[in-house]
Chain A
């Protein structure tokens, strides 16, 4: 049981710490990064760069592993098709990200930083997700 549940808890905690340390839980920081035509704040480029660098190394390790350390097999996305749904959905997400300066991870992590505001965002986000399921049926 612990072998299964401890890795995601540790991963989530490291993730949340990284988000807070990197400034992703500060909407002004996020909006400052997106404000390239105004008073640009490049901090998030360092967050993105650090995370992508570590993960690029992790993908190399993965190539030499028959199975994950704590699971029987890798369960990874394998699609490569570019669809209107992918692009349209990402555009809608980007608009929402720009409006409030929050994406899903920081929104959830911010529940301990500014509980009322973060809860409004997270509940609305889940409602949006549920709406897609309602319209499309189970997926």
Chain B
């Protein structure tokens, strides 16, 4: 999306878009930390907004953050002339969604809370959680590829 430097070994990679996207995510999490004094962990905020969790920021703040996610994505989609990624079929989405929901509650966080906010704070729990879910994700994709399971059209 943003051109600039590319990686000759990985022609499909988008390092500049990735870096700028990451910086925006970091600024978002920094605003939550320094502005509201809280962790921008999406799974926790989603649980808080829906009443699944009783602790955390106010329900109204949680909803504001969650509403912002698609708003921000829509701005990028419009600015870039539309994003057309393909998604997994419903059965895969349901199984994956259930695992993500159960796993993030048991594991107290996801890619944002552990992976960005916790790792940058050098939290022992977040570093272990991040290494664990990355390893599990890598193993899952490797297994599905080996088994010939095509997820994305």
Contact = CB atoms under 8 A, between A and B. Distances in A.
Interface of A: 4-29, 31-32, 34-59, 61-62, 65, 67-71, 73-77, 79-82, 85-105, 107-114, 117-118, 120-133, 138-139
Residue among A10, A29, A52, A129 facing the most chain B CB atoms (10 A cut-off) = A129
A43 B13 contact: yes
B102 A89 contact: yes
Contacts, number: 512
A12 to B, nearest CB: 2
Nearest to B88: A100
A112 to B, nearest CB: 4
A129 B101 contact: yes
B87 A100 contact: yes
Contact of A96 (B28, B64, B96): B96
A120 B88 CA distance: 10
A91 B130 CA distance: 9
Given A107-B97, A130-B52, A82 B85 contact: no
A9 B65 contact: yes
